[in-house]
Amino acid sequence: MSVLDNTTVLLGEELRTEFRSRELLTTTVIFVLMVLVLFSFTLDPAAEPTAAESRRFSPGLLWLAFLFAASLMLQPCFLREQVNDTLSALRLSVSDPFAIFVAKVVANTLFLLLTELLLLPIFAVLYNVAVKSVFPQLLFVFLLGSLGISTAGTALSAISAQARMRELMLPLLLLPLMTPVLVVSKEVTAGLLDPNPFMRWKGVAFLAIFDLVFLTALWLFGEYLLEE
Amino acid sequence: MVKHVLVASVVVLLIGAAAYAAFYVAPTEATMGTIQRIFYLHVPSAWTGLTSFFICFVANLAYVLRREPRWDWLGVAAAEVGLTFTTVVLVTGPIWAHPVWGIWWTWDARLTSTFVLWLLYVAYLLLRSMLEDPDKRALLSALFGIFAFLDVPLVYGSIRWWRTQHPQPVILGGADSGLQPTMRWVLLFSWVAMLALMTLLLRQRYRLEAMRGEVEMVMREAEAV
């Protein structure tokens, strides 16, 4: 079987596991919603949540919420395999371990993207920002940002699953590593939420480079992450 | 033993000479005054810290490819030494910034990326302490070290391009940037002294880690019997 066939089968398995229970998606969506509500308390209540103030703060809050959500959502990614002792079987079943990572990265990106899409209308209402006219562009930025988070996050979840205090280790490893994604995604999103929306192409290119760097690293070093 | 004392004394002398040069040889800077002399501790520490992290990255790569414990020992030694120098940078920075800029901290590119760098290597050391099995600890932390080092230029770039309104770099900053020649010599000399200190610390820390590794191995063998 080629790497592509392997990946497709594994991806199907990942998606089936999740959509059978939808546990991960439900909890993540609720978590992000909670964070967004709690974040609103850090803003000044006297100043009406004017569009201008929302535009200034909300893109950063939104991406921070996504990042926190990802650091929880990526937890079970490898932990599940370890608890059920399925990692060895998984490794034996593929010709190239990169297929395991591609399947998991694609699945995690999809889950994260789905969470983001479900929350976007609620976010737009709560924080009073216009998203309809720039929806395709926003989707594109969400995709690039989520791909970056999932790529590095999947690799780190393979590491943290083998450590003590693993629930704490993953955010600890992931959050500082995600600084560039947070900074740039936030800037690009802020550009799109502007009254005269514009695309920061330099930021988009930067995100694409980030994704490429970590995908390449995963391709080169992924097999070592799964050693026993 | 005599050799160690000799090497350590040379390093102490070098650091002393660098301190003397910073206080008495380098001219007083025109606008900032005496406080600017912290520059000769601050900047060389930053460069030395980065050098140390680069050594850590090379050791991590070498471990993943070769699987010899000595690369793991070098990796952890370099991470700790790099972290020490970076801590010096993060402490001397605000001390310098407060009288000059009027604030202790500003979220500019170099400050912020140094801070993130510091956090990444703290995470690296924490991860090590959370992995029991020595082989697993060596491999997984080396992989994280590689990811962390790859992230550094991206962190710096993202903050520099999107979040900064900082003073232009004085060195390598552009056409009219530059240091007065004496200042440059004192700076470079301080860096050499710092590098010597780094080498000494690295060596000692490496030897300690090697001994620890051996003890660990003996303990495992004893358990097996």
pLDDT in tens, A182-223: 999 999 999 998 888 888 999 999 999 999 999 999 999 988
Q: Given CB atoms, is B138 within the 8 Å cutoff of chain A?
A: no
Cβ distance of B161 and A206 shorter than 8 Å: yes
Whole-angstrom Cα distance, residue B45 to residue B23? 17
Confidence of residue A11 (pLDDT cuts 50, 70, 90): confident
> In chain B, which residues have their Cβ closer than 8 Å to the Cβ of A201?
none
Q: How far is CA B123 from the centre of its chain?
A: 15
> Residue B165's pLDDT is what?
55
Question: In the structure encoding, which two tokens stand for residue A155, read together?
Answer: 């690799």
Q: Given CB atoms, is A180 within the 8 Å cutoff of chain B?
A: yes
Asked if A66 and A205 count as a contact pair (C-beta separation under 8 A), the reply is no
Q: Of A169, A179, A184, which is closest to B116 when you measure between CB atoms?
A: A179
> In chain A, which residues have their Cβ closer than 8 Å to the Cβ of B107?
none
- Domain carrying residue A193: 3-225
> Residue A84's pLDDT is what?
81
pLDDT along chain B (225 residues), means of 10: 89 94 86 85 94 96 94 96 96 89 83 92 95 92 95 89 62 57 90 95 95 90 87
Strand partners, B33: B29
Whole-angstrom Cα distance, residue B122 to residue A21? 37
Is A122 buried (19+), middle (13-18) or exposed (0-12) by CB count in 10 A?
middle
**Residue in the structure block whose two tokens are 């690293």:** A217
Asked if A192 and A58 count as a contact pair (C-beta separation under 8 A), the reply is no
Q: Given CB atoms, is B147 within the 8 Å cutoff of chain A?
A: yes
The phi and psi torsions of B33 (rounded to 5 degrees) equal: 80, -155
Whole-angstrom Cα distance, residue A151 to residue A211? 7
Search chain B and give the residue with CA nearest A167.
B130
CA neighbor of A144 nearest in space, from A209, A65, A199, A59: A209
Asked if A79 and A161 count as a contact pair (C-beta separation under 8 A), the reply is yes
Domain total of chain A: 1
Asked if A105 and A184 count as a contact pair (C-beta separation under 8 A), the reply is no
* Angle subtended at Cα A217 by Cα A216 and Cα A221, rounded to the nearest 5 degrees: 120
Q: For A51-55, what is the mean pLDDT?
A: 75
> Residue A48's pLDDT is what?
64
Nearest-10 Cα torsion for A112, A160, A4, B146? 110
Asked if A154 and A108 count as a contact pair (C-beta separation under 8 A), the reply is yes
Q: What is the pTM of this model?
A: 0.90
SS3 content of chain A, % helix, strand, coil (to 5): 80, 0, 20
Other C-beta atoms closer than 10 Å to the C-beta of A2 total 10
Q: For A68-97, what is the mean pLDDT?
A: 85
Residue A38 scores a pLDDT above 70: yes
ipTM value: 0.90
Q: Given CB atoms, is B158 within the 8 Å cutoff of chain A?
A: yes
> In chain B, which residues have their Cβ closer than 8 Å to the Cβ of A162?
131, 136, 140
Residue A174 scores a pLDDT above 90: yes
Nearest-10 Cα torsion for A125, A129, A132, A136? -120
Search chain B and give the residue with CA nearest A206.
B158
Cβ distance of A176 and B116 shorter than 8 Å: yes
* pLDDT cut 90: percent of chain A above it: 50
> Residue A158's pLDDT is what?
92
Cβ distance of A179 and B127 shorter than 8 Å: no
Other C-beta atoms closer than 10 Å to the C-beta of A208 total 13
Other C-beta atoms closer than 10 Å to the C-beta of B62 total 17
> Residue B173's pLDDT is what?
47
Q: Of B120, B126, B131, which is closest to A162 when you measure between CB atoms?
A: B131
pLDDT in tens, A89-148: 888 888 888 899 999 999 999 999 999 999 999 998 888 888 888 999 999 999 999 999
